[in-house]
Structure 1
C-alpha cells in the first residue's frame, strides 16, 4: 500500500526545516496542480496539511507574508481556476468543482490545527486565513461573477468558517471570529461593495459590473452572514450582527442615505418661515 509520501513525494519537504527544500517542494506542488482536472478531498487535505506546516516552519515577517500570498494563490495553478471561455467553460479544461474542493480542504486543515497554533505563530496564520478568504472572492470575480462559482463559494464558506447549523464546534471559535472580522475588508478590496459616492448610495450610477458584484455581496449577506445571527455561539451571533451594520456595506449606506433624506424633509416641513 502506497503512503502519501510515495504518491506525492514533495509533501514531506513542504514541512522541511531546510528552506531550499521547502521552495523546491512548493514548485513541485504548483506543477502537480496544473495537471489536476480532478482533485479528491483526501489528496487536497494531504497537500494543505503540508502547506500548513510549510508556513509553520517559515521564519521572519517578510518571507511569511510572501508565503501566505503564494499559498493562497495556489488555486490559480488549477486548470479550472482560469478565466472562462466564451462558451462558459473554464479555460484549460476541467470542472469548477476542483477549486471548491481545494478551498474546502484549506478550511478543514486550518480548523483541525487551529488550536495547536501558539501565540508566536498566530499572526502568520491569521494572515494566511485572510489571504485564503480573499482568494475565494477573486475566483468568483475573475470568473465574471459566474452563478456556479458564486454558489460554490457560498457552499464552501457555509460548510467551513461560516457554518451555522450542525456541529458548529467543528470550526474553532477563534477562526470563525477572525473570518467574520475580515469579511467586509476583503469584499471591499476586490470591489464587491460598489462606489462610495452619493449616486451609488441611492442605487444609481453603478456600472453593470459593479451591480453584479454588489448582488453577490448581498447574496453573501443573506445566505452566509445573516444565518450566523442565530448561531448557538453567542460571540458569533454578536460579531455577525455587528458586521451587518458596517457602514461600508452598500445596503447600510443606502439606509443611512434614506434616513438623512427623511430628516431633511421633516426639518423642512417643520420650518414655517418668517412671519411678518
Structure 2
C-alpha cells in the first residue's frame, strides 16, 4: 500500500481577487498547473480546498459579467478542475486502498463555499454563480457515470462507493433537507437543474457505450441506471423532509421530470 505523504503548500490565491483581469488569469493558470502537477499522494487538505475554492469563487465573481462567452468559458474551465482532482484518485486507487481522497474533499469544499457566500451575492453577479453551480453539478454527474462506465470489474465495484460518497456530499450540503445553513435559494436552483443535468450525463454515458458490453444482469446499462437512481435519492429525501413547502414541491417536480425522461 502506498502511503499518503504530508500535504504540500498551495499557491497563493489573493491575486484571483485582483481588479486586473490579466493578473487573475495568471493566478488561475498557476493554480491549474499546480493541481495538474501535484502528486496524487499529496492530496489537498480540507482547509486547502476551501482556500482554493474561495479564490476560484472570487475569480468568477470579479469577472466581467457583460461578456457572456468569456464568463461561460471561465466557469467551464473552473468546473472542469473536478476532472483533474478525480484523476488523482484514480492514480491513488491503483496502489492504495484509499478511495475518494481528492474528489470528496474538493466537492465538499465547493458546496461549503457556495453556501457561505450565497447571502452576499448581488443581483448583477447571481447569474454567474448559478451557472457555476450548474456546471459543477454537470461535471460531478459526468465523473460518476464515467466511473460506472468502466469495463474493468474491479474498478466497477469501486464505482458504487464513489457514487455513494458523492451522494452523501450532495445530501449533506446543497440538498440537506433541514440544515439551516443551506440557503433555500441554493436548494431551489440545484433542484431546478438537477434532473436536466443528470439525464444529460446519463444519456451521454449510455450513448458512449460499446454495444458489445451491453446485455445481461451486470450490463453497463443496468449499472448506469442504478447509479442514476442512487444519485436521485437526495432529491427524493428532500421532497419528503424539507422544511420549506416550496422546496418540497420543486423536489417533486424534479423527480417527475427525471422519471419521465427515463
TM-score over 0.5 for the alignment?
yes
The match for 1:44 is 49
- Residue 120 of structure 2 corresponds to 116
Q: CA deviation at 1:177?
A: 0.4
TM-score (ref. length: structure 1): 0.75
- 2-side partners of 1:129 and 1:77: how far apart? 18
SS in 2 for 1:169: coil
Where does residue 74 of structure 1 map in the other structure? 81
Of 135, 139, 142, 1:135 maps to: 139
What do residues 55-110 of structure 1 show as CA deviations (whole Å, max 9, x unaligned)?
011112111100110111112223x426858xx92599984221111011011111
Find runs of 4+ consecutive structure 1 residues off by over 4 angstroms.
82-85, 90-95, 192-195, 204-207
Task: Specify whether residues 210 and 50 from structure 1 end up closer, same or farther in structure 2 by C-alpha distance, changes over 3 A only.
Answer: same
**Higher relative contact order by CA 8 Å / sep ≥ 6: 1 or 2?**
2
Give 2:107's aligned residue.
Answer: 103
**Matched residue, 1:153:** 166
Q: Which runs of 5+ in 2 are unaligned?
A: 1-8, 150-158, 207-214
Whether contact under 8 Å (1:83, 1:91) holds in the other structure is no
Q: CA RMSD in A?
A: 2.9
Q: Where do residues 1-276 of structure 1 align in structure 2 (5 Å cutoff)?
A: 8-34=10-36, 35=38, 37=40, 38-59=43-64, 60-78=67-85, 80-81=86-87, 84=90, 89=93, 95-144=99-148, 146-165=159-178, 168-191=179-202, 208-221=219-232, 223-229=233-239, 230-246=241-257, 248-249=258-259, 252=260
State the SS of the aligned residue for 2:100.
coil
Q: What secondary structure does 1:170 align onto?
A: coil
- Looking at structure 2, the residues matched to 239 and 135 of structure 1 have their Cα atoms a distance apart, in angstroms, of 22
Instruction: Report the Cα offset of residue 36 of structure 1.
Output: 5.1
How many angstroms does 1:207 deviate by?
A: 9.6
How far is 1:8 from its partner?
Answer: 4.0
Query: Is the 8 Å Cα contact of residues 81 and 96 (structure 1) preserved in structure 2?
Result: no
Q: 1:10 to 1:141 in 2, by over 3 A?
A: same
Shift of residue 16 of structure 1?
Answer: 1.2
Bigger mean CA deviation after superposition, 66-75 or 144-153: 144-153
| Length, aligned pairs only | 232
CA 1:253 to 1:17, structure 2 compared with 1: closer, same or farther past 3 Å? closer
Query: Tell me, what secondary structure is at the counterpart of 2:202?
Result: coil
Task: Give the alignment's TM-score, normalised by structure 2.
Answer: 0.79
- C-alpha separation in 1, matches of 2:94 and 2:247: 36
Q: Which has the larger radius of gyration?
A: 1
Gap runs ≥5 in structure 1: 1-6, 196-203, 255-276
The 3 A distance-change label for structure 1 pair 39 and 8 is: closer
Q: State the 1:10 CA deviation.
A: 3.2
1:208-234 residue CA offsets vs partner (Å, 9 max, x unmatched): 32321111111123x311111221121
- CA 1:190–1:205 in structure 2 vs 1: closer, same or farther (change >3 Å)? farther
Displacement after TM superposition at 1:206 (Å): 11
